[in-house]
A and B are shown apart, each in its own frame.
Chain A
Amino acid sequence: DAKTTQPPSMDCAEGRAANLPCNHSTISGNEYVYWYRQIHSQGPQYIIHGLKNNETNEMASLIITEDRKSSTLILPHATLRDTAVYYCIVSLRYSGAGSYQLTFGKGTKLSVIP
């Protein structure tokens, strides 16, 4: 699996957009980009995933560059409850057989400041 690089920490003012970057320069054509977050002492929470098109759901937007070597997770209006560690993960396209275990790095610790 391709590896990802994320800044170790970021701050964001409450109510502002939080933009979390991720580099995945060795990503291959059959690999998706996933984002999870982990609030202190809880299990990771799925946020969003994408292949090459930008994606949006009720939690966030995912912007993937045209060359797919980097992406940005956008939380449009950050709240204090968004304070968490955010993980960017690259995972193979599902083809039915075998394990698709997620390889977590250390993520970005996002602190939302009142």
Chain B
Amino acid sequence: DTGVSQDPRHKITKRGQNVTFRCDPISEHNRLYWYRQTLGQGPEFLTYFQNEAQLEKSRLLSDRFSAERPKGSFSTLEIQRTEQGDSAMYLCASSLGLADQQETQYFGPGTRLLVL
């Protein structure tokens, strides 16, 4: 399977704990996005990487959230001191940005986080 993969698929944690999620994009995709989706809502943008550079962050990304893409390949999203309001599905998407071609984002299966 050469699609976007995410790990873990499910995570249950207690309030105050730190969690880290991993996203492996489609190989050769240079652009990577993180989204968050709460029940009954569409996904909301969190942050975006072009290669290893994090170029944009949403105001939804509080200072407890940090994302990295150290070698321009996989990415991690860490949430420190989790709160119950962080319970959501965290989605990763990747795309290939090429001149004169419209970008299409492909999503992974998501990581479902439950904070107790």
Contacts and interface: CB of A to CB of B under 8 A. Distances in A.
Contact of A99 (B6, B48, B101, B108): B48
B45 A102 contact: yes
B56 A99 contact: yes
A34 B110 CA distance: 20
Nearest to B109: A43
Contacts of B105: 46, 100, 102
Chain B CB count within 10 A is highest, among A43, A99, A102, A106, for A43
B91 interface: yes
Q: How large is the interface on A (under 10, 10 to 19, 20 to 34, 35 or more residues)?
A: 20 to 34
B85 interface: no
Nearest to B106: A46
B13 to A, nearest CB: 19
Interface string A78-114: 0000000001000001101011111111110000000
A79 to B, nearest CB: 21
A42 B69 CA distance: 23
Given A43-B91, A44-B43, A100 B107 contact: no
Contact of B48 (A32, A45, A94, A101): A101
18 contacts: A32-B102, A42-B109, A42-B110, A43-B109, A44-B91, A44-B107, A46-B105, A49-B102, A94-B101, A96-B99, A99-B33, A99-B55, A99-B56, A100-B105, A102-B43, A102-B105, A104-B43, A107-B42
Given A49-B102, A101-B35, 11 more contacts: A36-B107, A41-B112, A44-B93, A46-B105, A46-B106, A94-B102, A96-B99, A101-B33, A101-B48, A104-B42, A104-B44
